[in-house]
């Protein structure tokens, strides 16, 4: 039985380092940094199977434009324990601790083409995204990111908003599709789309691949096509005042759902 707890000790930070290296195959964060962060407003939450750490979520205190919030920087889960709702449990535990510490906003980034993360962040947790960051971390060399610009969605999780606390949902039926998902005889897929001017509909949908890592392994060229196509569409949508609110799973593709940010029950300021 996997259980969740807050991590605060040096030995626990060392366990996180081991899991970091296992998940990303890259040098981990130094323990002096993570330990200092959790002593000064940061939060590290771990998932354990017995005495073995199998997942963690790490965030540190942040401040921007007069607003303090928790920047949730990393979430990692041992491959053998994925698809068991551990990510959702980690984030919900992190939320409860964040509320107790006085935070009402959590912010983090993820690759919009990693739709497993999109489903967790938007559909399960009711996070929203209206910010697209091109090549956020520069050229990265880990197995997930190597070979492509490190574009990211910036997720805002409004911890006390009715949208989150009471699951107050906008109407998202009958979206207008921003492009057509085209699958070739070789199994590879592309997005056929027009220009993105004059965005005025209530709801839009953007098709994306189901398994981007598999697609990238088969064709780096098609992977770059998706990176640039999603960048173009999302930048246009966010500029027009839309936010990504859902990742819906279809038989042959997944799709992001976008609505006007003003339609969301965020309460007060929405920045």
Domain range list for the chain:
2-165, 176-263
Beta bridge partners of 234: none
Strand 67-77 relative to strand 128-133, pairing: unpaired
Between residues 188 and 157, the one the model is more confident about? 157
What's the angle, vertex CA 28, arms to CA 11 and CA 9, rounded to 5?
A: 20
Confidence at residue 229, expressed as pLDDT on a 0 to 100 scale:
92
Closest alpha carbon to 153 in 262, 32, 256: 256
pLDDT score of 107: 98
Model confidence over 167-184: pLDDT tens digits? Answer: 888 889 899 999 888 887
Say whether 108 sits in a helix, a strand or coil.
strand
Question: Would the pLDDT of 18 be above 50?
Answer: yes
Q: Please spell the DSSP secondary structure of 12-80, one letter per residue.
A: HHHHHHHHHHHHHSSPPPPHHHHHHHHHTT-EEEEEEETTEEEEEEEEEEEEETTEEEEEEEEEEE-GG
pLDDT tens digits along 42-101? 999 999 999 999 999 999 999 999 999 999 999 999 999 998 999 999 999 999 999 999
Inter-residue contact 126 to 167 (CB < 8 Å)? yes
Residues sharing a CB contact under 8 Å with residue 52, sequence separation 6 or more, in sequence order: none
Go through 123-139 and write b for each residue having 16 or more CB atoms within 10 A of its CB, e for each that does not: bebbbbbbbbeeebeee
What confidence tier does 132 reach under pLDDT thresholds 50, 70, 90? very high
3-state secondary structure of 161: coil
Distances (CA, A) of 255 to 88, 113, 161, 207: 20, 10, 25, 4
pLDDT at 268: 59
Average pLDDT over residues 91-114: 97
Provide the 3-class DSSP secondary structure of residue 2: strand
pLDDT at 156: 97
Please report which confidence band the pLDDT of residue 128 belongs to, taking 50, 70 and 90 as the band edges: very high
Q: What is the pLDDT of residue 27?
A: 92
Give the span between the Cα atoms of 73 and 31, in whole angstroms.
15
Q: Which residues pair with 248 in a beta bridge?
A: 255
Q: Is 193 left (phi over 0), alpha (psi -120 to 50) or beta?
A: beta
Q: Residue 246: which pLDDT band, with cuts at 50, 70 and 90?
A: very high
How large is the average pLDDT for residues 185-199?
79
Q: What is the mean predicted confidence (pLDDT) over 251-259?
A: 94
Give pLDDT, residue 260: 95
Q: Give the homologous superfamily in CATH for domain 2-165.
A: Gcn5-related N-acetyltransferase (GNAT) (3.40.630.30)
The two three-digit tokens of residue 271, written as one number = 């920045």
């Amino acid at each position: 039985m996997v259980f969740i707890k807050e991590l605060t000790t040096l030995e626990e930070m060392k366990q996180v380092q081991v899991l970091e290296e296992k998940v990303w195959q890259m040098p981990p964060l130094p323990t002096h940094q993570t330990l200092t962060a959790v002593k000064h407003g940061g939060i590290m939450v771990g998932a354990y199977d017995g005495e073995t750490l199998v997942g963690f979520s790490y965030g540190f205190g942040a401040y921007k434009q007069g607003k303090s919030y928790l920047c949730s920087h990393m979430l990692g889960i041992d491959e053998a324990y994925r698809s068991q709702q551990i990510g959702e449990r980690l984030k919900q535990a992190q939320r409860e601790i964040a509320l107790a510490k006085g935070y009402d906003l959590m912010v983090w980034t993820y690759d919009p083409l990693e739709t497993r993360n999109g489903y967790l962040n938007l559909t399960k947790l009711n996070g929203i995204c209206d910010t697209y960051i091109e090549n956020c971390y520069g050229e990265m060399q880990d197995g997930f990111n190597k070979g492509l610009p490190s574009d990211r969605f910036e997720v805002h999780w409004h911890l006390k908003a009715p949208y989150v606390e009471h699951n107050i949902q906008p109407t998202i039926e009958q979206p207008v599709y921003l492009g057509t998902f085209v699958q070739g005889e070789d199994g590879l897929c592309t997005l056929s789309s027009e220009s993105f001017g004059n965005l005025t509909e209530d709801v839009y949908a953007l098709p994306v691949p189901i398994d981007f890592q598999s697609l990238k392994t088969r064709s780096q060229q098609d992977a770059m096509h998706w990176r640039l196509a999603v960048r173009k569409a999302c930048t246009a949508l966010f500029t027009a005042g839309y936010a990504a609110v859902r990742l819906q799973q279809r038989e042959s593709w997944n799709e992001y759902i976008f609505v006007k940010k003003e339609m969301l029950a965020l309460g007060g300021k929405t920045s």
